[in-house]
Amino acid sequence: MESSAEQVAPVTRAGPAPGGMPVDSRYRLVFGCARFPGWRGELLLLLGLALAACVLTWPIAATLASPSGLRGDYFNNLWNAWWVQDSILHGHSPYWTDKLYFPEGISLARHTLSPLNSLTLAALGSVLSAHAAFNVLLLAHFALSAWCFSLLARYVSGSTAGGVLAGLVYSFCPFHYFYLCQINVFSFEFLPLALLFFLRHFREGGARNLWGMALATAGMTMSAEYYVVYAYLTMGALVLCARAWAPEVSWRAGLSRSSWSLGLGALAAVVVAFPLLYATLGPEHGAESGTAAFAVEKHRTNDLFGFYWIGPKEESIVSWPTMLGYSTLTLLVLAGRRLKGIWPWLVVGLLFWVLSLGSSLVVNGRDTEFPMPYAVFEHLPVLSMLRKSDRAFLMVQVVASLALAAAWAALAPRLGRRQGVTWCACAGLVMLELTGVPFARFELPTSPYLAELAREEGVSAVMDLPPAKTHVANGRFDYLQTLHHKKTTLGYTTALAVTPFHDQRVEALVNWYWQLLFERGRTLVRKASELGVQRIVHYKTYPLGRERLWIDGRVLWTPFFFVREPLVRVRQTGEFQPLALETPFAEVVRRIVPELVPQIPADKASLPFLDVVRLELTRACGPPIHEDEQVMVFAVPESR
């Protein structure tokens, strides 16, 4: 791909850019690094964006060893890396495991393994801690997303300065921060690359652009399959509007080129996603239907007024101006009618905004039950897996960022020699409004005993307790398994991978656990033995639903800068917070299973919860074989 400053668009210096905007050729010489053309200029730009990533995500770069989140998605992505590495080292398929939900296991064909991210994390994990590896990859995604989008924006707008500004807004924006702990969805770089190579191939042809499209599509598929669907819907819309942005290409040539690029990209996606497609269309078709997790997640939608950042019971709708940035929208307004040259992209943005509203229209938190186009996807094979319509907002962010590049290309010639100062002021203002700094850092204390447990050859499986009522609340067991390396009776995967059986496993373990503590039977220990478990590992905290995050107003119209801290933090911490189990037994029961409060034995009510656990497990298993500040460990007696 030609990447020098003088090749940001296949046009002459005086001609229009592919999007119909004038080429900002004078300013290109500054940001295109005329002294370092070609790959040297791009490398310098990428290094600048890497520095921006360190500054605009502070203090992540200074605290690499600290966890960036405590939510189930964060734990699950660390587990993905561990599991993919285990599959490579031991030569087994990564698409099925009995490490979770032992002994029956679970199919991972429909689980989001995100192989590209998992392999990268595994490689980084060979020299860094798991948390440091995650943070390094996080910073890399920030920088690469900004750079890759700048390539697309430069091509569409013809302005290098505008393209860099657009790349900053695309990568360092609220929507990107929303998925900070979901490294798969966080992979924003491949989508703009696929769109760029598609545009180039449509206009110019060439094997290099064709294979670029295929590789970018494969990268998307190995990161987040959602984006492949978004990219193809976008490219289909652009083909229909091709006369507006590529008038020099005949319909016959355009049809031929788009068929080749879309076909080869689709082939790459099918090859990479074959396990997912085979399972979804074949033996596991509909296996997730009826599960509690799937029922909740497929209704994740946006509101007419904005993006649902926090769901019930503390609904906070972050308005569209807040998500995109008031400063961003101001620049677009100043460009005004000059944006008409990119009207096909504006149509794409409108299309995806409508799709992001879900299957029925929600207004100010109230479902009007008015049918919306997204409902069609629920009845189509494969596309029915697109549970979360709110993610379609990504394409709105894409279009807004492209429009920003085009706006700069239109406004820059009027600024004369003030272009450099004005650009710095605009970039500084937009980044100040949209920044999420300072990002929260966390501690995740774990027992040193787990490393010892990993070395115990006579132990193959454990029962991690206490069990929570939902899969996602048990997500911490995924991370803890990467430390003790033993099979466990619970776990957490993508909602699509879960079946009714796994729902029943959670329900059963929760019931057996409370029956044991209320002296209603020792089924829990008996079942542990029958399942082939050798150790019960009881942790000294419980993932309790966090306290309400107070943010005034259902719809937040405030600029993001003023609400960023509580919003970003809640996405890092998730919906749970650890409850220390030194609390009195009656209080823990009241907060976790309030329906059992009337049945609390009088002699246990005031005892510390852990004392009750220790007492009942000792009666069933014998004294703990290990105890420290984090865990109590019991040997499971053999069944007779």
Share of the chain above pLDDT 70, in %: 91
Which one is predicted more confidently, 550 or 93? 93
| Res. 4: pLDDT tops 70 | no
| Res. 294: pLDDT tops 90 | no
CA 233 – CA 227 distance, rounded (Å): 10
| Res. 11: pLDDT tops 60 | no
The residue-averaged pLDDT of 94-101 equals: 96
| Res. 297: pLDDT tops 60 | no
The residue-averaged pLDDT of 193-221 equals: 96
- Residue 81: band (very low, low, confident or very high) from pLDDT cuts 50, 70, 90: very high
In the 8-state DSSP scheme, what is residue 21?
Answer: P
**Beta-strand relationship, 631-635 and 626-627:** antiparallel
Question: pLDDT of 36-72, one tens digit each?
Answer: 567 888 999 999 999 999 999 999 999 999 999 999 9
Q: Which residues of 449-458 are buried (b: 16+ CB within 10 A; e: fewer)?
A: bbeebeeeee
In this structure, the number of other CB atoms found within 10 A of the CB of residue 599 comes to: 11
Phi and psi based region of residue 485 (left: phi greater than 0; alpha: psi -120 to 50; beta: remaining): left
Q: What is the pLDDT of residue 295?
A: 57
The residue-averaged pLDDT of 487-513 equals: 94
- Residue 313: band (very low, low, confident or very high) from pLDDT cuts 50, 70, 90: low
Residue with tokens 């960036």: 68
Q: What is the pLDDT of residue 293?
A: 61
Question: pLDDT of 421-455, one tens digit each?
Answer: 999 999 999 999 999 999 999 999 999 999 999 99
| Least-confidence region, from 2-6, 198-202, 357-361, 409-413 | 2-6
Contact in structure between 572 and 181 (CB atoms under 8 Å): yes
Structure tokens belonging to residue 301: 């939608």
Q: What is the pLDDT of residue 1?
A: 37
Residue with tokens 């272009």: 419
What mean pLDDT, rounded, does the chain reach? 90
Q: What is the pLDDT of residue 388?
A: 86
* Predicted model pTM: 0.92
- Residue 296: band (very low, low, confident or very high) from pLDDT cuts 50, 70, 90: low
Which one is predicted more confidently, 2 or 317? 317
Question: pLDDT of 129-164, one tens digit each?
Answer: 999 999 999 999 999 999 999 999 999 999 999 999
Share of the chain above pLDDT 90, in %: 79
- Residue 290: band (very low, low, confident or very high) from pLDDT cuts 50, 70, 90: low
Contact in structure between 130 and 81 (CB atoms under 8 Å): yes
Question: pLDDT of 365-414, one tens digit each?
Answer: 889 999 999 988 877 877 777 778 999 999 999 999 999 999 999 999 88
Cα–Cα nearest to 628, from 442, 445, 443: 445
- Residue 30: band (very low, low, confident or very high) from pLDDT cuts 50, 70, 90: very low
Q: What is the pLDDT of residue 25?
A: 38
